[in-house]
Chains A and B, each alone.
Chain A
Amino acid sequence: MATAFQKVYTTISQITKATCSLKAKGVGYDELATINGKLAQVVKIMGDEVTLQVFEGTGGIPTNAEVVFLGKSPSLKVSDQLAGRFFNAYGQPIDGGPEIEGKEVEIGGPSVNPVRRRQPSELIATGIAGIDLNNTLVSGQKIPFFADPDQPFNEVMAMVAMRAKADKIILGGMGMTNDDYYFFRNTFSNAGALDRIISFINTTEDPAVERLLVPDMALTAAEYFAVEKNEKVLVLLTDMTSYADSLAIVSNRMDQIPSKDSMPGSLYSDLAKIYEKAVQFPESVGGGSITIIAVTTLSGGDITHAVPDNTGYITEGQLYLRRDSDVGKVVVDPFRSLSRLKQLVAGKKTRKDHSQVMNAAIRLYADAANAKTKLENGFDLTDYDNRCLDFAKDYAGQLLAIDVNLNTEEMLDVTWGLFRKYFRLEEVNIKKEFTDIYWK
């Protein structure tokens, strides 16, 4: 890679598991370098001593390795040729296809000026009632699945991606198993959607620190299509917990004082920089959008861990999956899941009774959960309790289960049907304006 003009350094003074230090001049912060051909990035400059983070680890690097600074930070060549291709964390093709030609853009670029954003208002229909009815997604939103590693989050995410009407779907895989990588590939190609998909993949077989580049690569590609091509782009990031783990590794190697759960003190800002790339542009700049659906894996459902906790404060809601014991199917948990942007579309882009019906159904489902606890504790159930339990079973089976595919209007009608089947008018607590129309 070295050319005649580039200075080659050959004296490394310090090597740790992830970093190398050497004396060098004229080096810019964030700049890329190669060490015996391995990519590295400047993370610290003190006088003439430069510390480099080596993405694939420092194993095998000798103290006399050849270090060449590339004069630029990590970048991606963007053009329409990206569509349908698979890349590694550096943006190099891994599908055997040709190199991409296009404009070279530094990744992790500047933020959108908040006053140049538009309020998201376009519904993304997925056909899943746990999402469309209870936690409606809006284009320009950022929302993760909070899920334990054994839950089918990748399957649900792929389903959402295939049903959402996006112009481009960009997959950023971090620490993804090879099996999941093939699952996505097969799903995309079976759906005949490959030409809309762009993937940046770091699998469990690749070095962990490399995956730090994946979200920025994916979002740089997304910004190209959303800004230059005015497209609706959906970005899937899985799994952000692996990403955070890599952040922790690097900060640990750099002797930073860890904050909660051994995570770096800057975790909030690091995650926010990624998620805040989600945006709805106004018509005046083309009306494109970037929507981010991510996965944050939990350990035993613990959301107080620093990664899900910080994520929850950044994203616009979160979705939980749960196996419903009544119907034996995976449902989107109506209690803990939340889409913060749903009120921008619910009742505005959907039928007016949407919010009230949704809230009433969840309240009754909560009453059913209470009744279940009562039952478990050996107390007698009232007539109302029993009706709630029956309602909950139907609600889970006919609406919440992720294999149900309905449009929102159908979802609302089914819910009204269940209300009438099990309850009296005053038990559902819905505004008269709506019961006058739909309670018949």
Chain B
Amino acid sequence: MTKGTVSGVIANMVTLRVDGAVSQGEICYIETGGDRLMAEVIKVLGQDVYVQVFESTRGLKVGAKAEFTGHMLEIQLGPGMLSKNYDGLQNDLDKMEGVFLRRGQYTEPLDNERLWDFAPLAKVGDKVQGSDWLGQVIENSQPLKIMVPFQLKGTATVKSIAAAGQYKIHDVVAVLTDEEGNEVKVDMVQHWPVKFAMTNYKEKPRPFKLLETGVRTIDTMNPIVEGGTGFIPGPFGTGKTVLQHAISKQAEADIVIIAACGERANEVVEIFTEFPELVDPHTGRKLMERTIIIANTSNMPVAAREASVYTAMTMAEYYRSMGLRVLLMADSTSRWAQALREMSNRMEELPGPDAFPMDLGALISNFYGRAGYVYLNNGEVGSITFLGTVSPAGGNLKEPVTENTKKVARCFYALEQDRADKKRYPAVNPIDSYSKYLEYPEFAEYIKGHINEAWIPKVLDLKTRMLRGKEIAEQINILGDDGVPVEYHVTFWKSEVIDFVILQQDAFDEVDAVTPLSRQEEILDLVTAICEKEYEFDTFQDVVDYFKRLINVCKQMNYSAYRSEQYNEYVAQIKEMIK
């Protein structure tokens, strides 16, 4: 293997003089004071190689030795990853010793000794290609497929396959004969370089299946779909993380991967603490069982932060190739972009807008492009739904990360300072936010079959009413309460009903936090009925009084358990009020 010698150090960028071939993105280890520091090649200039070190370079000296590994940053994929807490380089954080993260400490991501119940799916003589399913093990009730190595070229024949029984991850469970007649031994572990997308599927159609999140402002107003993409930009304090956590708790997915990328450690601790106790509303099992956390918090090394989102996406792709529905959340993609900026700056590259690297847009769109709903080669389907948050500098959405993300993500959930200040949570702006999926005929067809035909027209009607309500609020602000006709107040308060009853949702209330689709259907019908009714009032004060009372009853309904006696009573009260 190629060796190198340190010739310069600026923070976590190190230059090496090398004695042989290196490739872009190759991983090397630098020896210093008994520690081995992992680093990645980011630029080659003749014999001088620039690497970004994934750890602190304190004390590193010129002349320190480096050893190249011959491969890019890659992770191990196999059974045993669920419920794990990894850092951005797939080190198992629970296996690390001590309270503090020690430099140069790398831990095994998988458990080599654990026994898994393997059941074969293929038989001797089967013709298989890369990623085809050979067998199955169950982890936390989730059926995981053992697949033909992703890198296998062409078609191979199954020469032998292990009988059902208990095996460790590195036991050979199948032997294949490839096109050249070579034997390929297959165990349960795959390796994949994180920066490359897995394209081991037949087709990636337009997604169309509603992904239920239990959050009304998403499901009802701006739905996301299985295999869809969305992003949540918002200034600090507008509830990005609360919304993301709500989605990751409630969404109807088989696997949830949360990449805490350059964010607060306490937010990760919240997940560690709560998820093992909380129950998946769809399966009744503990949430942690379906969750993987990639924690590269803001105080952990910057270069590993950049790697963390790729690590998370690669894991998602692995599960997708087994026909599972994966939800991937990255909080926040802005921190990833900042990591790119820090490095580009140290390399003295010419900066693009706001000092971000010029290829930022391309990197973001390639990354979002890895999500999607796919038909696998064997006809099964799998999906990666990707939701990223963006932390726009100064809360200004005209900044490079937001603008570039907007070009690729199909759902836009704009969190707004003004709504947050008024404690109207989730602070998703109802006017600016959108879901492109509402316009997909495939999606309309799906909703027609699974909910009802009237759903989308009703939703679109509410959206128009919100817009009209906003316009009238502005007019009232200018002309005064008495300066506009009483009917204007009615129209405005109808939009307030939509806001208070559908959009606003108490993420910390046991009942209100999650609204199943059937309940959302009922609320939508009720609110539509309220909005469609013609009202007669003498003064605007009567309008205000009436709607405040109505909203109060609706809110009590939202706080009551679905179809409970109390709930039915409130529904009856509302119906009485709009008779």
Contacts and interface: CB of A to CB of B under 8 A. Distances in A.
A37 interface: no
Interface string A383-397: 110000000000000
A407 to B, nearest CB: 23
Contacts of B11: 266
A26 B61 contact: yes
Nearest to B8: A46
A251 to B, nearest CB: 9
A285 B100 CA distance: 11
B342 interface: yes
Interface in B414-457: 421-423
B273 A119 contact: yes
Tell me if B's interface is mostly helix, strand, loop or mixed.
mixed
Given A377-B480, A384-B544, A426-B552, A115 B335 contact: no
Contacts of B265: 111-112, 114, 117, 276, 279
Contacts of A363: 422-423
A259 B354 contact: yes
Nearest to B346: A256
Interface stretch (A52-60, A165-173, A306-314): A306-314
Contacts of A276: 264-265, 297-299
Interface residues of B, number: 74
Given A47-B62, A269-B338, A382-B541, A118 B269 contact: yes
A98 interface: no
Nearest to A44: B10
Interface in B201-244: 235-237
A29 B59 contact: yes
B505 to A, nearest CB: 14
Interface residues of A, number: 81
B270 A116 contact: no
B262 interface: yes
Contact of B345 (A48, A265, A305): A265
B236 A312 contact: yes
B488 to A, nearest CB: 15
B151 interface: no
B58 interface: yes
A432 interface: yes
B335 A268 contact: yes
Interface in A95-118: 106, 109-118
A335 B93 contact: no
A265 B266 contact: no
A318 interface: yes
A113 B100 contact: yes
B393 interface: yes
A229 interface: no
Nearest to B350: A257
A113 to B, nearest CB: 5
A195 interface: no
B281 interface: no
A353 interface: no
Interface stretch (A86-94, A124-132, A336-344): A336-344
Contacts of B93: 113-115
A406 interface: no
Contacts, number: 201
B302 A269 contact: yes
Considering residues A115, A303, A343, which has the most beta carbons from chain B within 10 angstroms of its beta carbon?
Answer: A115
A403 interface: no
Given A259-B341, A429-B555, A343 B508 contact: yes
A260 interface: yes
Given A113-B99, A318-B237, A29 B60 contact: yes
Given A111-B100, A266-B342, A432-B556, A312 B237 contact: yes
A428 B10 CA distance: 58
Contacts of A379: 480-482
Given A29-B9, A29-B59, A427-B548, A114 B236 contact: no
Contact of B549 (A110, A268, A426): A426
Interface string A244-286: 0000000000001111100001101100110011010100010
Tell me which of A30, A377, A380 has the highest count of chain B C-beta atoms within 10 A of its own C-beta: A30
Contacts of B96: 113, 115
Interface string A282-315: 0001000000000000000001111001101110
Nearest to A42: B9
Given A304-B395, A363-B423, A272 B101 contact: no
Contacts of B335: 268
B234 to A, nearest CB: 10
Of residues B7, B236, B295, B297, which shows the largest number of chain A Cβ atoms within 10 Å of its Cβ? B236
Nearest to B335: A268
Interface of B: 7-11, 15, 56-63, 85, 93-94, 96, 98-103, 235-237, 262, 264-266, 268-270, 272-273, 295, 297-300, 302, 332, 335, 338, 341-342, 345-346, 348, 351, 354-355, 391, 393-396, 421-423, 480-482, 508, 541, 544, 548-549, 551-552, 555-556, 559
3 nearest CB pairs, A to B: A304-B394, A272-B298, A276-B299
Given A29-B60, A110-B100, A259-B341, 9 more contacts: A26-B63, A111-B265, A114-B272, A260-B355, A272-B262, A273-B298, A276-B298, A309-B236, A429-B551
